[in-house]
């Protein structure tokens, strides 16, 4: 029998458990049957606007019930959603829409300014506002009865050392195996309910939707993180699991004070970069179950997670690879590292991306002997637990968002007064890390404020350096490679 | 990335959760690490006896801790286990060993008589008693680091209308998807513990071992069903799930009387043929959670199961297909049946066998448009719930064992006094169904006792007809096909 085919996920879920709640959002909720019916209706409207199977379609939306419907409508049609980070500037968004050859853009009224600017730059790109959907005629959509696990479901862009974002292809199989791997690790019971206040445009958020439909589990969706609303919904919706990044967890712990978590609450899934040890220790002291995880867009969410029985004895470790996946540490010469020896983290498994959109070469560079190079540094202890020492040297993680120095440097270098630029990070109590810039000026002299304004027009706010340091020269090695770690040292 | 490769299941499980209990048997228990180490040791002994990757090796064992070790040792080596039903006669076993071209036979002292008879008939087949293992030297085994999901893991024989048993090939992928499909339906939590007193040589038992290693879940293994020991272990081992067939459940209900099940007990998984409605009603009345299931050797255990929320409103239904699988009813002309219309049950999914060993033609006959023909009769109601009306007309299910009339008829017809023979079933309070025979004699006259003795030498006891009726002729249709349903009518 053909292993790669499976019933369309939402169709099957709505058939299996039509009356279970799929999503809560504010005072609204949808069962799986309602979600299916609304997604089907929306798919019919999309089809009427020429959106069809196999196309890449940009999606620029906030976390909302409508967004969930739209994302599943695209799945029903077999459309590949290019899910756009809504904090990006128009020019960043246009870059991704062009790169993915998006056939349409689906967005919403609250992004009207960006939408206008995008239309300006891409006048031929059909744009559809979600607010228009009600007035559009609907067709009987041509939905995919079966999905091929090898087909691309979503595209999410990440940047690399070169500064050019690349579209990570996430197949249905990547999402499926990620969900299954997570269930085999965390368990899954029919009373589970997952709170999602991380963005749906990140794999951390989108993967919760996939688990919802694969497990038949309700998701409590928030537009963004709000600590008070979080604790309220823990009680009113009987939340059992929540995905968090470091600063969210810190604020929850502070807000809770002496108040315990409800007893049905099972765990926090903590991702988005290395967690500070004091935070983890505070959680252990308060008996708050935290699963530290390690993952990336290219692994369709977590690939390494710390199992319940080791949350104390292996504090600070990211754990072991999920059942279907594997981890290896390699030294610079390609040899396998010994126990305790630090090197580059390589991963393998059915949740690992099949490649970057339209960039087969980029994947060839990243895969060695079937192992995917993460660029991150870590080691395995004598029992095989992974300790992530550092995300790849050039990556800054600010409030759970990936920030790539090379991308910021490229913007700074486009300023006429900037001769050379280097970006690194400093620690920040709220965001974990924030980017800072080191500038070598030409004769013309811009102020830090002028450079900041220049960046704000071209980069999402979280990428704009918090400090600008003017220096005589940047540390570079013999082959003229920028040594970012030496900046400011 | 290559989807078909995965870490060796037991290796990975022992790495992930070494200290969790894998199996309880009598007063012994093994953690996953211990199970791995013992299996590795046994694999080394097997290798020393020439057992190696890719071979088919017969396994004739009782439910026992050693059996679990042996079965996983074979997995570690990448050997395909031909798992033999230990109730079969020597000549039936020899037939399967020959058919599978088994390179060796692994058995135990308690089957010494059968072993002797088998050696008599297959003098060149190397046989290994499990009691010999201790004294054998062990090698460092050449274990499979990764398994290919498309590789054959086990062979289990089933008979069909022709009377010749066929070896069902169960791949690692079939077992994996079956386990995952079951977890997505029943849920899985780290306090789960599954009681297995069904035979490991059946897919109902073997699939519990696979779930154990994939979920990281302890199995309480019993040599055979014992109602008193069952209830004891529900308490002492905190059992949460148990696989049963109808008569086991009946005896448990009777034994319990007014005593409730422990509150952590989650459910009975009821398979092995249609359950009598009064039994299901008694369970509902006593608030005993029963999941009725439908499955077969060719689907590597359950493929259709009734979800918790429908156990009362859809009493008597087998439920809906597990997430990755599909069900369809087809009429004799190949058309899809309408709601409520009975026809043949067809199934599809990654848990469905890739075929019968050395019989590609047999699979071609069974698969139409990617759908596997079960031969069973049923219908889907307006909500898509499957109701199994009858297992394929020629199949008798006696105490959970499949009995094929054609196989028994072939034995009867080999008796010099028997001119024609037809086998059907009658209801039986203990076993559900038992086979009965209708005989047209030649001139020589054998008694029922003589025919019974003749069968006992050639057929497993549960296949031997309980009654013999001597008749003038058998009901046959125009094309001379035996009408088994008309026997005795």
pLDDT tens-digit profile of B123-170? 999 999 999 999 999 899 999 999 999 999 999 998 765 567 899 999
The residue of chain B nearest to residue A385, with distances taken between CA atoms, is B16
B216 touching A (Cβ < 8 Å): yes
DSSP letter at A353 equals -
B215 touching A (Cβ < 8 Å): yes
The CATH number of A175-390 is: 3.40.50.12780
CATH topology of domain A5-148: Rossmann fold (3.40.50)
Q: Quick one: which of B253, B250, B282 has its CA closest to B400?
A: B250
A413 touching B (Cβ < 8 Å): no
User: What is the per-residue pLDDT across B213-242, written as a single tens digit (0 to 9) for each?
Assistant: 999 999 999 999 999 999 999 999 999 999
Give, in words, the CATH class of B396-486. alpha beta
User: Dihedrals φ, ψ of A437, to 5°?
Assistant: -120, 145
- Contact criterion met (CB below 8 Å) for A409 and A421: yes
The residue of chain A nearest to residue B370, with distances taken between CA atoms, is A1
The CA distance from B327 to the nearest CA of chain A, in Å, is 11
Helix, strand or coil, per DSSP, at residue A18? coil
The confidence score (pLDDT) of residue B400 equals 83
Q: Quick one: which of A130, A73, A80, A71 has its CA closest to A103?
A: A80
Cβ neighbours of A307 in B, within 8 Å: 16-17
CATH 3.40.50.12780 range(s) for chain A read 5-148, 175-390
CATH 3.30.300.30 range(s) for chain B read 396-486
B15 touching A (Cβ < 8 Å): yes
Cβ neighbours of B3 in A, within 8 Å: 3-4, 149-150, 173, 177, 350
Q: At a CB cut-off of 8 Å and minimum separation 6, what does B425 contact?
A: B396, B398, B403, B433, B434, B435, B436
Contact A184 B183 (CB under 8 A): yes
Q: At a CB cut-off of 8 Å and minimum separation 6, what does B71 contact?
A: B59, B81, B83, B200, B206, B209
The CA distance from A430 to the nearest CA of chain B, in Å, is 34
- Contact criterion met (CB below 8 Å) for A405 and A435: yes
A175 touching B (Cβ < 8 Å): no
The CA distance from A152 to the nearest CA of chain B, in Å, is 13
Identify which of A435-449, B23-37, B146-160, B456-470 has the greatest average pLDDT.
B23-37
Please tell me which of the candidates B1, B215, B326 has its beta carbon nearest to residue A184. Answer: B215
Cβ neighbours of A216 in B, within 8 Å: 184
B318 touching A (Cβ < 8 Å): no
B residues 352-391 near A, CB within 8 Å?
352-354, 367, 370, 372, 384
ipTM of this model?
0.86
What are the 10-residue block averages of pLDDT along chain A, 489 residues in total? Answer: 78 95 98 98 97 97 98 98 94 95 98 95 96 93 94 90 82 96 93 97 96 98 97 97 91 92 94 75 86 93 84 84 95 90 93 94 87 91 89 76 83 87 89 91 86 92 94 76 78
Q: Quick one: which of B7, B3, B17, B5 has its CA closest to B212?
A: B17
Contact A190 B190 (CB under 8 A): no
**DSSP output for B95-148:** HHHHHTT-SEEEE-GGGHHHHHHHHHH-TTS-EEEGGGGGGS--------SEEE
Helix, strand or coil, per DSSP, at residue A33? helix
CATH architecture of B5-390: 3-Layer(aba) Sandwich (3.40)
Distance CA A271, CA A295 (A): 7
- Any bridge partners for residue B84, and if so which? none
The residue of chain A nearest to residue B185, with distances taken between CA atoms, is A215
A residues 256-275 near B, CB within 8 Å?
none
Q: At a CB cut-off of 8 Å and minimum separation 6, what does B257 contact?
A: none
Residue B420 C-alpha from the chain's centroid? 31
Percent of chain A with pLDDT over 70: 96
Best residue in A2, A3, A308 for a mutation probing chain B (most B CBs within 10 Å): A3
Best residue in B264, B309, B323, B352 for a mutation probing chain A (most A CBs within 10 Å): B323
Residues comprising chain A, all counted: 489
The residue of chain B nearest to residue A367, with distances taken between CA atoms, is B1
Contact B189 A188 (CB under 8 A): yes
Cβ neighbours of B215 in A, within 8 Å: 184
In angstroms, what CA-CA distances link A358 with A147, A155, A354, A461?
22, 11, 12, 28
- Contact criterion met (CB below 8 Å) for A393 and A485: yes
Helix, strand or coil, per DSSP, at residue A336? strand
Please tell me which of the candidates B3, B17, B350 has its beta carbon nearest to residue A307. Answer: B17
DSSP letter at B24 equals E
Please tell me which of the candidates A12, A308, A384 has its beta carbon nearest to residue B323. Answer: A12
The residue of chain B nearest to residue A176, with distances taken between CA atoms, is B324
**DSSP output for B431-448:** TEEEEEEEEEE-SS---H
Cβ neighbours of B326 in A, within 8 Å: 7
Can you list the positions of beta strands (E) in B297-369? 301-305, 320-321, 326-330, 343-348, 355-356, 367-368
B12 touching A (Cβ < 8 Å): yes
Give the relative orientation of helices A90-99 and A112-121 as an angle to the nearest 10 degrees: 50
The model's confidence at residue B328, banded by pLDDT at 50, 70 and 90, is very high
First to last CA, chain A: 61
- Give the DSSP H or E segment for A31: strand A28-31
User: What is the per-residue pLDDT across A4-22, written as a single tens digit (0 to 9) for each?
Assistant: 889 999 999 999 999 999 9
Q: Quick one: which of A470, A368, A372 has its CA closest to A419?
A: A470
Percent of chain B with pLDDT over 90: 69
Contact A3 B350 (CB under 8 A): yes
Contact B150 A3 (CB under 8 A): yes
Between β-strands B241-245 and B267-271, what pairing exists: parallel, antiparallel or unpaired? Answer: parallel
A16 touching B (Cβ < 8 Å): yes
The confidence score (pLDDT) of residue B436 equals 95
H helices of A151-276, in order, are 172-186, 203-215, 227-236, 246-256
B326 touching A (Cβ < 8 Å): yes
The confidence score (pLDDT) of residue B306 equals 87
The confidence score (pLDDT) of residue A177 equals 96
Here the tokens at position B344 are: 């043949």
Q: At a CB cut-off of 8 Å and minimum separation 6, what does A9 contact?
A: A75, A147, A172, A176, A210, A213, A214
Q: At a CB cut-off of 8 Å and minimum separation 6, what does B44 contact?
A: B138, B139, B140, B141
DSSP letter at B34 equals H
The confidence score (pLDDT) of residue A206 equals 98
The confidence score (pLDDT) of residue B272 equals 74
The confidence score (pLDDT) of residue B489 equals 78
Please tell me which of the candidates B2, B12, B13 has its beta carbon nearest to residue A370. Answer: B2
- Contact criterion met (CB below 8 Å) for A457 and A422: no
The confidence score (pLDDT) of residue A310 equals 79
DSSP letter at A462 equals G
A326 touching B (Cβ < 8 Å): yes
Pairs of CB atoms within 8 A across A/B: 96
A307 touching B (Cβ < 8 Å): yes
Q: Quick one: which of A281, A247, A294, A250 has its CA closest to A433?
A: A247
Cβ neighbours of A241 in B, within 8 Å: none
Cβ neighbours of A21 in B, within 8 Å: none
Distance CA B332, CA B410 (A): 27
Q: Quick one: which of A451, A454, A465, A343 has its CA closest to A396?
A: A465
The confidence score (pLDDT) of residue A123 equals 96
Here the tokens at position A107 are: 């967005």
A188 touching B (Cβ < 8 Å): yes
Nearest 10 degrees: Cα torsion A395, A397, A403, A405: -40
The CA distance from A353 to the nearest CA of chain B, in Å, is 7
A148 touching B (Cβ < 8 Å): no
- Contact criterion met (CB below 8 Å) for B442 and B414: no
Please tell me which of the candidates A1, A183, A320 has its beta carbon nearest to residue B183. Answer: A183
A149 touching B (Cβ < 8 Å): yes
H helices of A344-447, in order, are 360-366, 405-413
The angle subtended at Cα A301 by Cα A299 and Cα A306, nearest 5°, is 105
User: What is the per-residue pLDDT across A307-317, written as a single tens digit (0 to 9) for each?
Assistant: 766 777 888 78
- Contact criterion met (CB below 8 Å) for B173 and B149: yes
CATH 3.40.50.12780 range(s) for chain B read 5-390
B350 touching A (Cβ < 8 Å): yes
The mean predicted confidence, pLDDT, of chain B is 91
The residue of chain A nearest to residue B169, with distances taken between CA atoms, is A1
B413 touching A (Cβ < 8 Å): no
Please tell me which of the candidates A13, A307, A349 has its beta carbon nearest to residue B16. Answer: A307
> Which residue's entry shows tokens 């506002």?
A129
Cβ neighbours of B352 in A, within 8 Å: 1
A15 touching B (Cβ < 8 Å): yes
Q: At a CB cut-off of 8 Å and minimum separation 6, what does B302 contact?
A: B178, B181, B182, B269, B271, B293, B294, B295, B322
B16 touching A (Cβ < 8 Å): yes
């Amino acid at each position: 029998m053909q292993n790669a085919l499976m019933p369309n996920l939402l169709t099957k879920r709505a058939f299996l458990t039509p009356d279970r709640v799929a999503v809560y959002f504010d005072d609204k909720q949808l069962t799986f049957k309602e979600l299916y019916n609304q997604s089907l209706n929306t798919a019919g409207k999309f089809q009427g606007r020429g959106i069809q199977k196999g196309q890449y379609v940009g999606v620029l939306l906030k976390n909302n019930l409508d967004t969930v419907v739209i994302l599943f409508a695209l799945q029903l049609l077999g459309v590949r959603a290019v899910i756009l980070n809504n904090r990006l500037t128009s020019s960043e968004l246009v870059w991704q829409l062009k790169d993915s050859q998006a056939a349409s853009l689906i967005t919403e009224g609250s992004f009207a300014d960006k939408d206008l600017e995008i239309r300006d730059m891409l006048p031929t790109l059909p744009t559809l506002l979600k607010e228009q959907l009600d007035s559009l005629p609907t067709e009987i959509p041509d939905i995919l009865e079966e999905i091929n696990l090898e087909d691309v479901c979503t595209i999410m862009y990440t940047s690399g050392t070169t500064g050019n974002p690349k579209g990570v292809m996430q197949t249905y199989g990547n999402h499926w195996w990620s969900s299954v791997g997570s269930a085999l690790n965390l368990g899954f019971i029919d009373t589970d309910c997952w709170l999602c206040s991380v963005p749906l445009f990140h794999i951390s958020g989108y993967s919760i939707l996939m688990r919802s439909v694969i497990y038949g589990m309700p998701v409590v969706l928030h537009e963004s993180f709000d600590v008070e609303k979080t604790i309220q919904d823990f009680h009113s919706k009987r939340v059992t699991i929540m995905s968090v990044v470091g600063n969210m967890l810190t604020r929850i712990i502070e807000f809770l004070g002496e108040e315990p978590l409800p007893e049905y609450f099972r765990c926090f899934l903590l991702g988005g970069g290395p967690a500070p040890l004091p935070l983890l220790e505070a959680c252990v002291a308060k008996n708050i179950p935290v699963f530290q995880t390690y993952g990336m867009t290219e692994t369709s969410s977590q690939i390494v997670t710390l199992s319940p029985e080791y949350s104390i004895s292996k504090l600070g470790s990211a754990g072991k690879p999920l059942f279907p996946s594997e981890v290896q540490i390699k030294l610079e010469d390609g040899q396998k590292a010994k126990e305790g020896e630090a090197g580059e983290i390589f991963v393998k498994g059915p949740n690992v991306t099949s490649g970057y959109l339209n960039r087969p070469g980029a994947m060839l560079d990243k895969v060695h002997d079937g192992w995917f190079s993460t660029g991150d540094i870590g080691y395995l202890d004598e029992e095989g637990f992974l300790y992530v020492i550092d995300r790849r040297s050039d990556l800054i993680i600010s409030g759970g968002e990936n920030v790539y120095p090379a991308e910021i440097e490229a913007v700074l270098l486009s300023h006429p007064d900037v001769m050379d630029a280097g970006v690194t990070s400093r620690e920040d109590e709220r965001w974990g890390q924030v980017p800072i810039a080191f500038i070598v000026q030409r004769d013309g002299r811009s102020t830090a404020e002028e450079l900041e304004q220049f960046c704000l027009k071209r980069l999402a706010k979280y990428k704009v350096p918090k400090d600008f340091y003017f220096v005589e020269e940047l540390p570079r090695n013999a082959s003229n490679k920028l040594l970012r770690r030496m900046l400011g040292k």
